[in-house]
Structure 1
Amino acid sequence: MRDAVIVEAVRSPIGKRNGGLSGIHPVDLSASVLNSLVERAGVDPVLVDDVIWGCVGQVGEQSLDIARNVVLGAGWPESVPGTAVDRQCGSSQQAVHFAAAGVISGQYDLVVAGGVESMSRVPMGSSSGDAWPFGEGFRERYQGVVPNQGVGAEMIAQRWGLSRAQLDEFSLASHEKAAQAQDAGHFEGQIVPIEVDGTTISADEGIRRGGTPESMAAIRSAFQADGVITAGNSSQISDGSAALLITTSAKAAELGLRPIARVHTAVVAGDDPVIMLTAPIPATAKALAKSGLRIEEIGAFEVNEAFASVPLAWLSETGADAKTLNVNGGAIALGHPLGGSGARLMTTLVHHMRDNGIRYGLQTMCEGGGQANATILELL
């Protein structure tokens, strides 16, 4: 019986907007991650059946099937294909789902799933430009409301009764946890140093130290004059890439590879596209129901910190133990390179599970259009 196992997972550092990674083309950034993945695994890339690469802004430098361009830019054999995936912020988590389904069905024996976003070079929203992506049917159904993630985050805060102080406290904790993880070397085993114009970038750039409730309170609201969502309690605009190598247990044994974790359960869910960011809640419920596991059996959670209100509402609805959520910080501190974030979260989760002997981990993230992927991993 075929399964899907992760045998290696790596990521670049996450660069802040116009920071250290802004000087490297997204194809070259991805190629560095891709080559490090197979080097660490000890696998000849000619064996890879496909590269499934998440990317949201598939325009300009990230256009024309960036996955195939990454494969060729990495110097891999021309026989290795690649395809780009866009499920908004969950694009590279969806890439993992497609890869797992491919190896379980027998379409693949060895596949790479990952993603990239260079938001410094391809700004958010570039793919639609001035075009109207929704259509008249959408406008009529939702009474002309144009979905806006920041406004959706405000709606969540209002619906779940989350105060500005709670959001800021959560955000400060994200930076504190990320700083502690960085200082303790918890990210070193997962990060691929990136060379940019003679400089080596080897650490996440977005972590801020020494923040206080007072400094957070001084930041103005971003989406509503009297709102609670600010740049300080939202994810950062970032550059970054991550990748995972996926195969079956049988193929891993044949190639002499040691599996880290099994893709136990993989689901996707939809919810209200106007509030947009609530789908991790039903996605988590769907994953738990399909897996037969209880939330108390999950020892680690990665819930993307698109805005602080998202994981806080998720905690309120799921009853998960807050101590097991984003223990190494999240996108508020580390950054959110859209198409690369799903694979970044999963890479961090896989390493955390292995380092701490945690049997089950769950990842979920809100996505444009009111969607969410949820993945349960089992440590092997």
Structure 2
Amino acid sequence: MKQVQDAYIVAATRSPIGKSHRGFFRNTRPDDLLVKVLQSALAQVPGLDANAIEDVVCGCAIPEGQQGLNIARIGAVLAGLPVSVGGITVNRFCASGLSAIQMAADRIRVGEADVMIAAGVESMSMVPMMGNAPSMSPAMFGNDENIGIAYGMGLTAEKVANQWKVSREAQDAFAVESHRRALAAQAAGEFAAEITPIEVIDRAPNLDTGEVIEKKRVVSLDEGARADTSLEGLAKLKTVFAARGSVTAGNSSQTSDGAGALILVCEKALKQYGLTPLARFVSFAAKGVPPQFMGIGPIEAIPVALRNAGLTLSDIDWIELNEAFAAQSLAVVNTLGLDPAKVNPMGGAIALGHPLGATGAIRAATVIHALQRKQLKYGMVSMCIGMGQGAAGIFERV
């Protein structure tokens, strides 16, 4: 790709992350969540002419049901954007939101657009992880080389734990630390700048009167972090995916609901609309790995993203490494030699949740605001991806 101009992020926000099925967004439609974060992002740049927006690129890992029918276009229309603004939904599973940012940035970087919106959304409460009617190709089961594509994510985590020698004790300790960091960040108000509070309406019947009672509340914090998480408690949990394994519900990411949105512009638009950039999009990489070891994807993607940026690991000040499982996170950290202090300083998906296609946009909002708050220079978002991929994106505070 021949770059002709830089892409700058001028707004980055996200919803709180809710627990799927029993959390505060269990009855909230994903398109409604997307609308809220789109409107919030636009409100952060009041000088921007919405007619200048070229397209909305939205990541969604399971784009069907309530989040089907091109949710990007639906969200754009319902958010009140001009009808001239397009919308495209993209799917790279857990990296869908990050790929949406990359695609939006690339449109700007090659000179095809001046203003773009990138987003991600997922309701794991309303749309199950495999979709409503999964149908896998029989070719997946024809030989051992392909069957890894059909493995459940938990089984791939077990295979990574075994191959990369990650113990149950190390996984549980990693999970405890994720919760500790998340709770400390919440108590310090460190998520406030990136989160758009969302009003939730709970409805319940009054059986005596036949009326439907509505209760409204505003949620402004992720609900997954637990103060009662301990090594002793996690050690009691049974393994989920293998009888003699080490992966449990406690050292795995939480299934979740959430959304995030970013607005990207070129330098000309910065000047034209009087906008202040938060960060510059620097580079992106996606690489494939053996599907049965999908969790190691960042091991391959991160070095390529660094090379594309002309940077080294020592240049990166903040790393948002999606905690799909403690097993794969530790395999990545140990293999690449990542500094644990720089990895998920405010906790990760084990504590905060992982709404699949939204995670890339959510974690990008986290790193962009962290760079501003801490006055750091470079941040990175990376994750493993189901069926054997890894992705990484790098941002620079400006």
Q: TM-score range by the shorter chain?
A: over 0.9
Partner of 1:29: 33
- The letter of the residue matching 1:142 is E
Partner of 1:111: 116
Query: Within 2, Cα distance between the matches of 1:253 and 1:135?
Result: 54
4+ aligned runs moved over 6 Å, structure 1: none
TM, length-normalised to structure 1: 0.97
Residues 199-348 of structure 1: pairs in structure 2 closer than 5 A: 199-348=217-366
> For 2:127, which of 122, 128, 151 is the aligned residue?
122
- The letter of the residue matching 2:126 is R
Q: Is contact 1:21–1:201 with CA below 8 Å preserved after alignment?
A: no
Partner of 2:185: 181
Partner of 2:66: 61
- The letter of the residue matching 2:96 is S
> For 2:107, which of 97, 102, 105 is the aligned residue?
102
Partner of 2:374: 356
Superposed displacement of residue 135, structure 1 = 4.3
Query: Within 1, Cα distance between the matches of 2:396 and 2:80?
Result: 33
Query: Within 2, Cα distance between the matches of 1:118 and 1:66?
Result: 12
Partner of 1:88: 93
Superposed displacement of residue 318, structure 1 = 1.1
Q: Tell me the SS of whatever aligns to 2:94.
A: coil
Partner of 1:4: 7
Q: Is contact 1:147–1:276 with CA below 8 Å preserved after alignment?
A: no
Range with bigger deviation, 309-318 or 5-14: 309-318
Q: Is contact 1:38–1:44 with CA below 8 Å preserved after alignment?
A: no
Q: Is contact 2:49–2:273 with CA below 8 Å preserved after alignment?
A: no
Q: Tell me the SS of whatever aligns to 2:372.
A: helix
Identity of paired residues, percent? 40
Q: Is contact 1:262–1:379 with CA below 8 Å preserved after alignment?
A: yes
Against the structure 1 CA distance between its residues 295 and 130, is the aligned structure 2 distance closer, same or farther, given a 3 Å change threshold? Answer: closer
- The letter of the residue matching 1:136 is A
Partner of 2:42: 38
Deviations 1:155-192 (A, max 9, x none): 11111111111000000000000000001000011111
Q: Is contact 1:115–1:341 with CA below 8 Å preserved after alignment?
A: yes
Query: Within 1, Cα distance between the matches of 2:218 and 2:333?
Result: 38
- The letter of the residue matching 1:62 is Q
Range with bigger deviation, 93-102 or 21-30: 21-30
Partner of 2:81: 76
- The letter of the residue matching 2:103 is F
> Once superposed, what is the RMSD of the aligned Cα atoms?
1.3
Q: Tell me the SS of whatever aligns to 2:250.
A: coil
Query: Within 1, Cα distance between the matches of 2:300 and 2:186?
Result: 32
List gaps (5 residues or longer) in structure 1: none
Deviations 1:65-112 (A, max 9, x none): 010111111122211110000000100100001011000112211011
Query: Within 2, Cα distance between the matches of 1:144 and 1:281?
Result: 22
Deviations 1:10-49 (A, max 9, x none): 0000001221111211111110100000001213433211
> For 2:53, which of 48, 52, 65 is the aligned residue?
48
- The letter of the residue matching 1:14 is I
Query: Within 2, Cα distance between the matches of 1:228 and 1:270?
Result: 25
Query: Within 1, Cα distance between the matches of 2:347 and 2:147?
Result: 37
TM, length-normalised to structure 2: 0.92
Matched positions, count: 378
Q: Is contact 2:318–2:343 with CA below 8 Å preserved after alignment?
A: yes
Partner of 1:20: 24
1:195 matched to 2:199? The reply is yes
